[in-house]
Amino acid sequence: MNLTHYSVSHNYMNMKKALSFEALNKSIRNCRQCSLSETRQHALCGEGDRKARIMLVAQAPGEFENKEGRMFIGPSGKVLDELFEHEGLKRENFYITNQVKCMLPQCRRPKQIEIQTCGDYLDREIELVDSEFLVPLGYFATRYIFEKYGIPVPDKKEFKEVFGKLSWRMNRKIYPLQHPASVLHKPQLLEVLKKNYHKLKIFSEKCKWHSSCPLRWFTEQGKLNPRWQQLYCFGDWEDCVRYELEESGKYHPDWMLPDGSFDESLR
């Protein structure tokens, strides 16, 4: 392709995407489709890198966010900033949005009509940003994303088990996390959140051994389910057994899979 033609085409697509975002954000700010428009001060649009590899989806704006019209500037925002700072992460490298765009009175649970109405906006954001990782924060955002991508939603008593677990559906990696506000109610959860949010640092980078890993070749040749590569090489490579052995200089056969099991068909 002619480089000049590519540059013009690329710039056109960026401009088209920017205009689409502006149209979407205008619709969000002017939305009157449910009763929340009568009690809000601001309907919040997403913030951050519109080409981010990781997209965070919180539940709804709080009191401070509603007043100022900005994402995560209240107490839960301080927790989020501390979790990011602990890992050397910066907000501007993520795209952060809400499932429900307006503050819920008395911080009540979102109603189904509110979830459905704002779901149209969220679906469009997901389409426009097209992040490799979707990270829903808390119960309601996670349930919405699970239902959208056909992931079974566990019973609420068992729901906490999904946090910190990476899955791959419809070419999207989904990694639910506890909402930062959970620490405000249960300070003892801080260490759990630190451990789970640490993975955002891992997801921000690709495995340094990937270019020479035989799993790459097996996948490209159609001999290995791409799920392994997506969940480990391009996902949680820190938990890959092959990575651990490579780092320690210990022998491991080419047919060893990331979880430490063996696929004899690859020998």
| Structural domains in the chain (count) | 2
Same domain, 30 and 162: yes
Domain boundary among 162, 186, 203: 203
Same structural domain for residues 119 and 223? no
Could you tell me if 219 and 190 lie in one domain? no
Please answer whether residues 132 and 173 qualify as being in contact, where contact means their C-beta atoms are separated by less than 8 angstroms. Answer: yes
Q: Give me the CATH number covering residue 82.
A: 3.40.470.10
Do both 34 and 160 map to the same domain?
A: yes
Strands 167-169 and 172-174, how do they pair? antiparallel
Are residues 259 and 216 part of one domain?
A: yes
Residues 28 and 66 in one domain: yes
Both 45 and 14 in one domain: the answer is yes
**Domain co-membership, 142 together with 220:** no
Quote the domain boundaries for residue 252. Answer: 210-266
Q: Please identify, among 176, 203, 230, the residue that sits at the C-terminal boundary of a domain.
A: 203
* pLDDT value for 11: 63
Q: Give yes or no for residue 243 having a pLDDT over 70.
A: yes
Give the tens place of pLDDT for each residue, 51-76. 999 999 999 999 999 999 999 999 99
Taking only the tens place, the pLDDT of each residue in 151-189 is 999 998 899 999 999 999 999 999 999 999 999 999 999
Sign of CA dihedral 98, 107, 144, 85: positive
Residues 262 and 183 in one domain: no
Residues 147, 261 share a domain: no
pLDDT at 80: 97
Rounded Cα gap, residues 25 and 43, in angstroms:
9
Pair (199, 220) in one structural domain: no
Give 19's pLDDT tier (boundaries 50, 70, 90).
Answer: confident
Q: What is the pLDDT of residues 95-146, one digit of tens each?
A: 999 999 999 998 889 999 999 999 999 999 999 999 999 999 999 999 999 9
For residues 177 and 215, state if they share a domain: no
Q: 166, 186, 203: which is the final residue of a domain? A: 203
